Amino acid sequence: MSLVCLLYASTISDDFSPDDIKQILSSAERNNAKQHVTGMLSFNRQYFLQCLEGSRQQVNEIYHRIARDPRHQRLEILDYQSIPKRSFSEWHMGYLQDTQTLSELFYQYSSNDQFDPYNMSPEGAFLLLLDIKAEIQKALQTS
């Protein structure tokens, strides 16, 4: 079975409530683990940037479920490709919301220090998620 990586961005809909992110994360962790899909999600109360890794069938099923979710709008696939190995193998759904401390990272991958995945290259968006993963791991080691 080959692995794929799907990277997408979306904008929250007007129906999105502050409690929705907790529900999305809980559901994603539970469902992704069952389907052997790993990934990373970054969110800033306006945009989502998410990477999903796993079998083509499972990743496609999850993406289509997200596309039908009324809390997401303006879905855009930034990248979709076969991969030799997972970059987020230990994460069924890692998450870090946008904070001021991440502004430097955002600036490295876009034209300003604001998180807007639509204004990043696919490679830059993926590298940003890898850097966020590293920041989470650093924070976990120091706590």
Of 42-46, 84-88, 103-107, the range with the highest mean pLDDT is 84-88
CB atoms within 10 A of CB 12: 19
pLDDT beyond 60 at 106:
yes
CATH number, domain of 42, equals 3.30.70.100
DSSP H or E segment with residue 79: strand 72-83
Mean pLDDT of 63-74: 93
Share of the chain above pLDDT 90, in %: 50
pLDDT beyond 80 at 84:
yes
Full domain range(s) for residue 30: 3-142
Q: Which residues pair with 95 in a beta bridge?
A: 41
In angstroms, how far is CA 7 from the centroid of its own chain?
7
Distance of alpha carbon 20 from alpha carbon 32, whole angstroms = 17
In angstroms, how far is CA 38 from the centroid of its own chain?
10
Q: Which amino acid is at 118?
A: Y
pLDDT digits (tens, 9 = 90+) for 17-57: 878 888 888 888 888 889 999 998 888 878 999 999 999 99
Residue-level pLDDT at 20: 86
58 in Cβ contact with 36 (< 8 Å):
yes
* DSSP for residue 96: E
Share of the chain above pLDDT 70, in %: 92
Q: How many domains is the chain partitioned into structurally? A: 1
pTM: 0.89
